[in-house]
Amino acid sequence: MDNMHGTTIIGIHRKGKTALCGDGQVSLGDTVVKAKALKIRRIFEDKVITGFAGATADAFTLLEKFEEKLKVNKGNLKKAAVDLAKEWRQDKYLRRLEAMLIAGDKSGILMISGVGDVMEPDDGLIAIGSGGNYALAAARALMRNTKLSEETIVMEAMKTASEICVYTNDQFTLEVL
């Protein structure tokens, strides 16, 4: 069976505001199987926004675990992310999950991976997925214009990624805190 490809998620945290944008394409090999998947979600009483790349069922499992960690840690994004990364890496079942997450709230934005990484970007920008590097490069260029809103930066970056990456479409979901 062909590997699942696709997804571009980009996030920005700047001036106490966080915006995440993702595309809707799900591909199996060289075939688009879904064009309007929702890969950006609000969790923890709508106080945290998340985006995922990778196997959908795996990502939903991780989102549930992450929300549990947020509850245990009283909404502390960094502590919940570290706890999830530890469990993800150490648990026999979880470590087989193939997905990555971006999570943000009003305090910051993080990327969480199954190899134990929790990364907070220096410049407030983070991206994952097949078109992530394209979106990240575009967003960095757009940030040079400080008058652009966070929403505009991530949407325009996604447009650029969708024009370059064949696994990224222009059916975007945007969430802002």
Q: Could you please report the per-residue DSSP string of 118-143?
A: EE--SSSEEEEETTHHHHHHHHHHHT
Q: For residues 1 and 23, what is the distance between their CA atoms, to the nearest angstrom?
A: 24
The H-or-E segment that residue 98 falls in is none
Q: What pLDDT score was predicted for residue 146?
A: 80
- Give strand pairing partners of 108: 105
63 and 39 in contact (C-beta within 8 Å)? no
| pLDDT for the residue numbered 5 | 52
CA atoms of 168 and 136, how far apart (whole Å): 14
What local confidence, expressed as pLDDT, does residue 3 receive? 43
In degrees to the nearest 10, what's the CA dihedral of 153, 156, 161, 162? 150
Contact between 103 and 112 under an 8 Å Cβ cutoff? The reply is yes
Q: Sheet containing 4-5: which strands, arranged edge to edge? A: 4-5, 26-28, 31-34
Which stretches of the chain drop beneath a pLDDT of 50? 1-4
Structure confidence at residue 1 (pLDDT)? 32
Catalogue the active-site residues.
7
Q: Which CATH number fits domain 4-172: 3.90.1150.10, 3.40.50.1110, 3.40.50.11540, 3.60.20.10?
A: 3.60.20.10
Number of CB atoms found within 10 A of residue 111's CB: 22
Helices 77-90, 56-72: crossing angle, 10 deg rounding: 130
The token pair at 136 is 């990240």
Any bridge partners for residue 128, and if so which?
9
Q: What is the pLDDT of residue 134?
A: 97
> Which pLDDT value is given to residue 36?
94
Predicted TM-score (pTM) of this structure? 0.91
Residue type, 38: L
Residue 155's pLDDT is what? 98
